[in-house]
Structure 1
Amino acid sequence: MIDVYSWPTPNGHKVHIALEELGLPYTAHPINIGQGDQFSEEFLTISPNNKIPAIIDSEGPGHQPISIFESGAILLYLTEKAGELMPRDIRGRFETLEWLMFQMGGLGPMLGQAHHFRQYAPEQIDYAVDRYTNEAARLYGVMDRRLAKREWLAADAYTIADIAAYPWIRPHENQGQNLDDYPNLKRWYETISARPAVARGLEVLADARPAALDDEAREQLFGRTQYQKR
């Protein structure tokens, strides 16, 4: 059994969707990042960077428990465990890894900044809004060009590269983007959205998340609390 310590955010959704696609048994445990659960000693034991998600697989390598943090590492572990969603040939594998790294190193961080400065920053900073909205548009363009002549991001197959990128495109309006401007990306997005396992993954812990952030949640997520020495 895999225990997933998570919250319904893009990085959490990546792992929830992968587990549903792979059919691996798991139990989801909410880590309410708006209430500071990510800073608890118990969670820091398995996620030293105090970020969700993290997992503990009681049936890890050699039938021994293993804990893993960082969503990209978790995706790699899950696909290795199940033997699916990752091409077996070396070219397809590294193509998938390229686009997984694209999401981890660029798409996620930059879209996250666009989301933050457009939705959550306590003051409007035009330079930051313009910078990250424009970078979001550039990254959307990269994906749109990639998908112009192929169905999926990598290896002509649905892989963890697609699973990693998809949740970050869902809040496109909050990033200042219109999918009609990226027809190939829109087709890809709609195809993934129609997958039953994706719909199930998006429902994981969905009822636990409040509709809006209160002052406490803003402090936990964006205030000085996250910078305290632990």
Structure 2
Amino acid sequence: MIDVYSWPTPNGHKIHIMLEECGLAYRAIPVDIGAGDQFTPEFLSISPNNKIPAIVDADGPDGKPISLFESGAILLYLAGKTGQFLGNTVREKYETLQWLMFQMGGFGPMLGQAHHFRIYAPEPIPYAIERYTNEAKRLYAVIDHRLSQSDYLAGDTYTIADIAVFPWARSFANQGIDWADFPHAKRWFDVISARPAVRQGLSVLADLRKPLDNTLAKDILFGKTQYARK
């Protein structure tokens, strides 16, 4: 049994989807990031960067429990554990890894900034809104071009690269994206959206998420609570 400490965000959904795709037994333990659950000593003991998701696998690689944080590392661990969604050849694995790193280094962080300045910042900052909206469009253009050449990001096979990118693309409207500008990415998005395991993964903890519309939650996520030394 795998315990996944998570919340229904793009990074959390990556792991929910992967667990469903792999058919692994798991238990979802909510970590309400708007209420500050990510700062409890218990959670920090497995996720020292106070970010979701994190997992504890009772059946680790040596038969002993293992805990992991960082969604990219967890995806790689689950792919290695099950032998799924990482490619079958050395070439396929590196094709997958480069697109996974694209998500971890760019498609997640830059779109997160777009969300922040377009939606959550206490006052509009035109330069920041334009900067991150333009970066979002640039990144979507990168995947659109790639998907004009292949069915999926790493080639013709669905992999953890697609699992990593897809949940972030669900918030395209918040990022200032019009799918009409990215038809190949939209085709890919629709195909993945229709996968039963994806639909099930997106439902995990979804009923617990609340709109981020109060001062305390914003302070916990973006203010002094986030930056207090733990």
Question: TM class by shorter-chain length?
Answer: over 0.9
How far is 1:61 from its partner?
A: 1.2
Where has structure 1 moved over 3 Å in runs of 4 or more? none
Contact 1:6–1:28, Cα closer than 8 Å, also in 2: yes
How far is 1:155 from its partner?
A: 3.2
The whole-number CA distance in structure 2 between the counterparts of 1:134 and 1:89 is 36
For 1:123-138, what aligned pairs fall within 5 Å after superposition?
123-138=123-138
**Residues 140-196 of structure 1 deviation map (CA, whole Å, 9 limit, x = unaligned):** 000000000211000320000000000010000000001111000000000000001
Contact 1:87–1:155, Cα closer than 8 Å, also in 2: no
The whole-number CA distance in structure 1 between the counterparts of 2:57 and 2:84 is 17
Contact 1:34–1:213, Cα closer than 8 Å, also in 2: no
RMSD between aligned residues:
0.7
Q: Which residue does the alignment assign to 2:161?
A: 161
Letter in 2 for 1:106: G
Q: Which residue does the alignment assign to 1:78?
A: 78
- 1:46 and 2:29 equivalent? no
**Residues 63-113 of structure 1 deviation map (CA, whole Å, 9 limit, x = unaligned):** 100000000000000011111111121110000000000000000000000
Q: Which residue does the alignment assign to 2:112?
A: 112
Secondary structure, in 3 states, of the residue corresponding to 1:29? strand
How far is 1:210 from its partner?
A: 1.1
Q: Which residue does the alignment assign to 2:3?
A: 3
The whole-number CA distance in structure 2 between the counterparts of 1:173 and 1:155 is 27
The whole-number CA distance in structure 2 between the counterparts of 1:156 and 1:90 is 15
Q: Which residue does the alignment assign to 1:189?
A: 189
Contact 1:117–1:129, Cα closer than 8 Å, also in 2: yes
Q: Which residue does the alignment assign to 1:224?
A: 224
Contact 2:212–2:218, Cα closer than 8 Å, also in 1: no
Consecutive unaligned residues of structure 1, counting only runs of 5 or more, are none
Contact 2:7–2:30, Cα closer than 8 Å, also in 1: yes
TM-score normalised by structure 2 residue count:
0.99
The whole-number CA distance in structure 2 between the counterparts of 1:155 and 1:194 is 19
**Residues 177-219 of structure 1 deviation map (CA, whole Å, 9 limit, x = unaligned):** 0111100000000000000100000000001111343221111
Consecutive unaligned residues of structure 2, counting only runs of 5 or more, are none
Secondary structure, in 3 states, of the residue corresponding to 1:191? helix
Identity among equivalent pairs (%): 63
